[in-house]
């Protein structure tokens, strides 16, 4: 059954309620990914910085959704823009209501606007992981707003707006390989370079809470069904295919990373499984609506392997990307884009009626070149503009990016937020027991720990 709506120009427009409902559900799934990123990052840091990253992820939703309402959607998805950026036709969501969306005539503009807001919100939340343990809260919030406007909105326009130069060129990016992952990875690299190294950054810091890492991974993996499957913008067979290849790639990626680490440590790493799954999810993202299930296995193996090896770049190039955002999202996005040029197939896109030339498997090897151009442009724009933003912010009184060394030692939670994820007890030594930071705070628990 179709629902009938009156568009802003008074014309009646019919939409399938199933398509609208699926995109609304996908919106909720992508929203859940943002705190999932916060928990994923939080678990990998020291305990005294844990809350800082969780709450920054939530702030990313709030700040970006306001920016999206004011100007972001207009800049990214206005219909009469140039090849580089849109205009202000939809400022404050003017004329964004029941008319067919610029992304798909199958859903209303307002639904598409809400769905795309979640993509805009998660991207800076991914990038700020590089600032973990030393980046000040307030400047980071300002950075999120500015960066979304002058980096994300531009790259998303190039990729997804029908007028964008990459879209016109023929670049394929189903769900955000360049706008989300390459851009956030490059921004994280710039952030790490500008902030400098953490104190004792070369020490072997293990995740303080693997439960949070696993929980965050589950939220991210679960939400990715909406991230990739929802990008079909309708309840079609292509949406099902996107969900299937996304899940299969993540399964293969998690196991691949564990096996790569096992050859060195002879342990079945829980962190390795989580990292491998996320790396594969990143890699399959641009291709999810274009490739077959068999091809998705290659994305899982390649994504996990390349991102695993990219972890060594920070030692080789001497930058401190605290949570390896560039290695996973930057490198994973590039690998996924290039493999899309090889494995994209016409028949998959035709599942919901889109016509493409396909990639190398369909004899169109030029597609790999288009994907490489798109990747290089996104990487360069994000890194350079992010570096300029951070450099300028660092010169403005009150917007210096890094906390002083004493606050870094104290922990971002107490120094910046005034509250911790956990209750702490100063180290106390006695003849019976030693209680350390993060030990049980309940007197009964302490007594039991002595026993």
What's the average pLDDT block by block, 10 residues per block, for the chain (451 residues)? Answer: 48 82 98 97 93 95 98 96 95 94 94 98 95 93 97 98 97 97 97 90 80 97 98 96 98 98 93 97 98 98 97 92 94 98 97 94 97 98 98 95 92 91 57 45 37 31
**Residue ranges of the chain that CATH labels 1.10.3430.10:** 3-395
**Alpha carbon distance 426, 414 (integer Å):** 14
pLDDT at residue 322, rounded to an integer = 87
Torsion of CA 415, 418, 424, 426, to 10 degrees: 50
Q: Name the one residue in this structure whose structure tokens are 């790999």.
A: 368
The CATH label, of 3.40.50.2300, 3.65.10.10, 1.25.40.10, 1.10.3430.10, for the domain at 3-395 is 1.10.3430.10
Predicted TM-score (pTM) of this structure: 0.91
The number of C-alpha atoms within 13 Å of 279 and in the hemisphere containing its C-beta is 37
Rg (CA), the chain: 22
pLDDT at residue 2, rounded to an integer = 47
pLDDT at residue 5, rounded to an integer = 52
Is 67 within 8 Å of 148 (Cβ atoms)? yes
pLDDT at residue 1, rounded to an integer = 43
The tokens of 440 are what?
């049980």
The tokens of 411 are what?
């922990």
pLDDT at residue 12, rounded to an integer = 54
Closest among 338, 54, 392 to 178, alpha carbons compared: 338
Instruction: Say if residue 316 is exposed, middle or buried (CB neighbours under 10 Å; 0-12, 13-18, 19+).
Output: exposed
């Amino acid at each position: 059954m179709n629902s009938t709506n009156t568009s802003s120009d008074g014309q009646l427009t019919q939409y399938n309620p199933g398509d609208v409902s699926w995109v609304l559900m996908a919106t909720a799934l992508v929203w859940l990914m943002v705190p999932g990123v916060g928990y994923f990052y939080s678990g990998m840091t020291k305990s005294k910085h844990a809350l800082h990253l969780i709450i920054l992820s939530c702030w990313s939703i709030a700040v970006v959704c306001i920016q999206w309402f004011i100007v972001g959607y207009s800049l990214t998805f206005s219909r009469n823009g140039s090849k580089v950026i849109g205009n202000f036709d939809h400022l404050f969501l003017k004329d964004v209501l029941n008319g067919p969306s610029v992304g798909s005539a199958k859903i209303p503009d307002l639904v598409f606007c809400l769905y795309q807001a979640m993509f805009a919100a998660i991207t800076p939340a991914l990038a700020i992981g590089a600032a973990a343990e030393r980046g000040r809260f307030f400047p980071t919030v300002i950075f999120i707003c500015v960066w979304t406007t002058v980096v994300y909105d531009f790259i998303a326009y190039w990729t997804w707006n029908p007028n964008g130069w990459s879209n016109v060129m023929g670049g394929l990016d189903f769900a955000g390989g360049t706008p989300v992952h390459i851009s956030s990875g490059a921004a994280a690299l710039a952030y790490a370079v500008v902030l400098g190294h953490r104190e004792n950054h070369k020490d072997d810091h293990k995740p303080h809470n693997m439960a949070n890492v696993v929980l965050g991974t589950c939220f991210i993996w679960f939400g990715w069904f909406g991230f990739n499957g929802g990008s079909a913008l309708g309840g079609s067979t292509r949406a099902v295919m996107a969900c299937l290849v996304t899940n299969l790639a993540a399964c293969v990626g998690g196991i691949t990373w564990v096996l790569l680490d096992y050859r060195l440590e002879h342990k079945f790493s829980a962190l390795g499984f989580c990292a491998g799954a996320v790396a594969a999810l990143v890699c399959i993202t641009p291709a999810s609506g274009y490739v077959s299930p068999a091809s998705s296995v290659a994305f899982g193996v390649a994504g996990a392997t390349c991102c695993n090896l990219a972890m060594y770049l920070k030692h080789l190039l001497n930058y401190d990307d605290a949570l390896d955002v560039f290695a996973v999202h930057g490198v994973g996005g590039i690998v996924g884009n290039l493999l899309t040029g090889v494995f994209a197939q016409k028949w998959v896109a035709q599942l919901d009626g889109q016509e493409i030339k396909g990639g190398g498997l369909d004899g169109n090897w030029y597609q790999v070149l288009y994907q490489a151009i798109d990747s290089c442009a996104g990487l360069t724009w994000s890194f350079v503009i992010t570096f300029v933003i951070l450099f300028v912010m660092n010169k403005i009184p009150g917007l210096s990016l890094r906390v002083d060394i004493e606050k870094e030692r104290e922990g971002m939670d107490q120094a910046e937020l005034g509250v911790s994820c956990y209750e702490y007890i100063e180290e106390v030594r006695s003849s019976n027991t030693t209680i350390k930071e993060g030990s049980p705070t309940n007197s009964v628990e302490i007594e039991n720990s002595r026993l």
